[in-house]
Amino acid sequence: DVSMDEIKNFRQWGSKTPGHPEVTHTSGVDATSGPLGQGISTAVGFAQAERFLAAKYNKDGFPIFDHYTYVIAGDGDFMEGVSAEAASYAGHQALDKLIVLYDSNDICLDGETKDTFSENVRARYDAYGWHTVLVEDGTDLAAISTAIETAKFSGKPSLIEVKTVIGYGSPNKSGTNAVHGAPLGAEETGATRKFLGWDYDPFEVPEEVYSDFKTNVADRGQEAYDAWASLVSDYKVAYPEVASEIDAIVAGKSPVTITEKDFPVYENGFSQATRNSSQDAINTAAAVLPTFLGGSADLAHSNMTYIKADGLQDKYNPLNRNIQFGVREFAMGTILNGMALHGGLRVYGGTFFVFSDYVKAAIRLSAIQELPVTYVFTHDSIAVGEDGPTHEPVEHLAGLRSMPNLTVIRPADARETQAAWHHALTSTTTPTVIVLTRQNLVVEEGTDFGKVAKGAYVVYDTPGFDTIIIATGSEVNLAIKAAKELVLQGGKVRVVSMPSTELFDAQDATYKEDILPSKTRRRVAIEMAATQSWYKYVGLDGAVIGIDIFGASAPAQTVIDNYGFTVENIVAQVKSL
């Protein structure tokens, strides 16, 4: 439904034709490809999703999941590191229904690629395990078609390098960076029209072009679709129960509704790291949801992301639901985006929280594209201890919380962790980041599965309270201990667990006032992370106990104590207000 008027309004406010393709905005767009390198990397996820769904649902004579994934990529895409990560992964996985057409024109924005880019890309992709071929003339459609058909029988992902001339037809600017992202200008446009023999008005499309497009693209596509729809119709007759499951997952719904009753129940006082509690939730989900799958960037047994009932997914075992992404955090995020965009799957990926910086650009595209991808980030604070500042996240929570359309949840214990996963698995248009501990946390008496969806709630209260302590994650236990000490000293304290600032901010004013009454000005927020997130909740009269410097290398408790996360310091801070 992109009209000629929409094309005329290219890059204008309110049009359906933004400056870069947006999957949520324009019909026919398969992916918001985003910054260079992410498009080709996202396509790897499409190809992997197709392979999994084909292995799971296709029957003899019924190849209902049977498509190739095509990419058109340029020189800049192959310079980006994420494309190297994803291509290495795709080659190892032998994703043979992925075909990349490389628009090789030797020009980038700053000039000729020879100034910055001298490797043999095809040789590099050969080394990755790809099938590669060169088409020397980008106007030779027959050669391109032959290359594509040959690629389909290679048994490998394919890279077809097609030599082209950027700005072809422009007498004075073709083959230069002057036509890379800049208009030709009136004079050069006129010269180009003359060179190409194009005598039509701006935006005028000759009738024969419409006719040719209808015959060779629209009609051919409709015939292919009709044949596939007929196959699906017959499949529904032959396999009605499986077909119903497919209808549900393709519509973005689970064939089975996962509820609180499906998740483990933990008794008060039970102690377990929330990363382990997350693994409990992952395995619960895997038992209930047939197309739930994911993995980790070489940290599955640290992130606790492994589905115990399944093995590793590879070219020989495409139905297994554990994915080893290798040490490729950025590619992991883009591949997850591709799998989510493809449809039919509920996906997750994990790494250490400090490495979320490597994934962040992909998370941003998850949020922009409204993809319910789940990111599992463990080792969430200075409690990492001996590994020191390079591996102790500080600024990461504040950074991710600042991203639109992203829900960040840092659960206080095993009970809140199950609720975090329930939220992630029932989200439809928002990605979720679940931030988890390495160290054990005690299940608190006041934590509540159902209330986590509100983002914040009361976990400890004193009648007539005049002080509120807000905390997340591992600091909730510390906040409760400090509150009890203050009560022993005559104080009246409320403790609020706020696992998700985004979910709390989405509540109505009445609920917010009930949890954080505006009359209560003495407020302290506690989090072993940067303080920026918290001033909106504590106000000018409150205080934040956080970390605005990098961490340190020492035993975890030593680091925690030296950074002021002790009952004594919290009590002193509250009394000073």
Q: Is 67 annotated as a binding residue?
A: no
Q: Is 379 annotated as a binding residue?
A: yes
Q: Is 341 annotated as a binding residue?
A: no
Q: How many helices (H) and strands (E) does the chain have?
A: 22, 19
Q: Is 387 annotated as a binding residue?
A: yes
Backbone angles phi, psi at 296, to 5 degrees: -150, 160
| Count of all residues that appear for the chain in the document | 577
Q: Is 329 a catalytic residue?
A: yes
DSSP state letters, 474-487: THHHHHHHHHHHHH
Q: Is 36 annotated as a binding residue?
A: yes
Kind plus residue range of the DSSP H or E element containing 295: strand 292-296
Reduce the DSSP state of residue 215 to 3 states and report it. helix
Helix, strand, coil percentages for the chain (3-state, nearest 5)? 45, 15, 40
Q: Is 438 annotated as a binding residue?
A: yes
Kind plus residue range of the DSSP H or E element containing 514: helix 509-515
Q: Is 180 annotated as a binding residue?
A: yes
**b/e per residue, 167-195, with b = 16+ CB within 10 A?**
bebbeebbbebbbbeeebeeebeebbeee
Q: Is 366 annotated as a binding residue?
A: no
Q: Is 46 annotated as a binding residue?
A: no
Find out whether 167 and 139 touch, Cβ atoms under 8 Å: no
Spatial distance between the Cα atoms of 110 and 317, rounded to a whole number of angstroms: 45
From 329, 475, 502, 527, the catalytic residue: 329
Q: Is 118 annotated as a binding residue?
A: no
Of 507, 383, 361, which Cα lies nearest the Cα of 496? 507
Where residue 3 falls (left for φ over 0; alpha for ψ -120 to 50; beta otherwise) is beta
Find out whether 453 and 509 touch, Cβ atoms under 8 Å: no
Bind-site residues for thiamine diphosphate = 34-36, 76, 105, 180, 355
Residue stretches of the annotated binding site for substrate: 180, 275, 302, 379, 387, 391, 438
Binding positions are: 34-36, 75-76, 105, 107, 180, 275, 302, 355, 379, 387, 391, 438
Binding residues for Mg(2+), by number, are 75, 105, 107
Residues with catalytic annotation?
329
